[in-house]
Amino acid sequence: MRVLHITTNYPTPDFPIFGIFVKEQVESLRAAGVECDVLYCDRKGKGTWMYITWIPRIWWKILRGRYDVIHCHHALSALLCLCTLWPLFKKCVVSYQNDPTREWKINCFGLIHACFNRIIIKNTSPYLSRTRTVYLPNGCNEKIFVPMDRSECRKELNMDQDAVYILYMDSNKWGRTQKRKDRFDATLELLRKYFPDVRSVELYNTPREKIPAYMNACNLHLISSDFEGSPNSVKECLCCNVPVVSTDVGNVRDMIGDINGCYVVEEFTPEALAEAVRKVLDSKASFDGRRAFLQKDYSLTAVAGKLRSLYEDIL
């Protein structure tokens, strides 16, 4: 089986974390016996209109490649592929990274739904009631993200052994407004009334090999976003046995809602988030989120198996 992955997100030397989940999914599929090629539609900072120049390249790549399945990552990749008309002749799949209402709006979803064989949605969305849609969040590399000694990680990273560290993550080098860094900062300011030495660990475009140590060095991961798809940092922290507090976004409730020591906050306010964080920091109970999380089949291997079955099904 030959699959071409078309993506507008993919790691580069300058942006090593950008689209890393696409790269890891491709690698896990190769390990599962699927032959994969990747076509990264990079606009190289020249503006969104530059994506148009990729349309003839996509058309030619598919013509020469004799692919069984075309897998587009993000609605924009699907629209570029549609411009080539290949979805009329090839089996095509698209993976949304956010809810369709947040990714080129519902009109775009209707067009893609009409032309693609499967639509993968990674959050708990009302659009899952449509035909051809599948709920399949990204998997997490549980072999890289493992529990590590917090004290040793802090020593390695020159962090204070006695401070309380709260993790903030954004894969975009410049930050995204949806992540609501302002809400994160306001939450930490409230927490300092009870924990004077609360500090933030903020990771933007951090090299992949350094992230597990940073995660294990932190007391918890706080997500303050207005919306998400299926945040990979939640999965990675759980695999590291690091508790998570989050606004009720994406599929976070599905991932952590039933795990003791994690909290999903319905009120999108610093006060509600701070109260949930206090519960985590005050708790004396041991946290074993890794075991509970991996039982939900979120490992890279498990998701690759499901994705391969999806390809086989549409063929």
For residues 165 and 279, what is the distance between their CA atoms, to the nearest angstrom? 15
Quick check: is 161 in a domain?
yes
If asked whether residues 20 and 72 sit together in one domain, one would say yes
Quick check: is 180 in a domain?
yes
- Neighbour count for residue 282 (Cβ, 10 Å): 9
Quick check: is 145 in a domain?
no
If asked whether residues 277 and 172 sit together in one domain, one would say yes
Q: Residue 308 has what pLDDT?
A: 98
pLDDT in tens, 164-180: 999 999 876 556 788 99
If asked whether residues 30 and 88 sit together in one domain, one would say yes
Neighbour-count burial of 294, counting CB atoms closer than 10 A to its CB (0-12 exposed, 13-18 middle, 19+ buried): middle
Domain count, the chain: 2
165, 168, 140: which is closest to 239 by C-alpha?
A: 140
Q: Residue 175 has what pLDDT?
A: 65
If asked whether residues 95 and 179 sit together in one domain, one would say no
Quick check: is 258 in a domain?
yes
If asked whether residues 123 and 11 sit together in one domain, one would say yes
pLDDT in tens, 248-262: 999 999 999 999 999
CATH number of the domain that residue 162 is part of:
3.40.50.2000
If asked whether residues 135 and 18 sit together in one domain, one would say yes
If asked whether residues 62 and 170 sit together in one domain, one would say no
Q: Residue 284 has what pLDDT?
A: 84
pLDDT above 90 (res 160): yes
Q: Residue 44 has what pLDDT?
A: 61
pLDDT in tens, 24-38: 999 999 999 999 999
Quick check: is 144 in a domain?
no
Range of the domain at 134: 2-139+299-314
Quick check: is 174 in a domain?
yes
User: Which pTM does this prediction carry?
Assistant: 0.92
Quick check: is 20 in a domain?
yes
If asked whether residues 168 and 203 sit together in one domain, one would say yes
Q: Residue 47 has what pLDDT?
A: 61
If asked whether residues 50 and 65 sit together in one domain, one would say yes
For residues 315 and 311, what is the distance between their CA atoms, to the nearest angstrom? 6
Quick check: is 22 in a domain?
yes
If asked whether residues 119 and 183 sit together in one domain, one would say no
Contact residues for 309 (Cβ-Cβ < 8 A; gap 6+)? none
If asked whether residues 194 and 118 sit together in one domain, one would say no
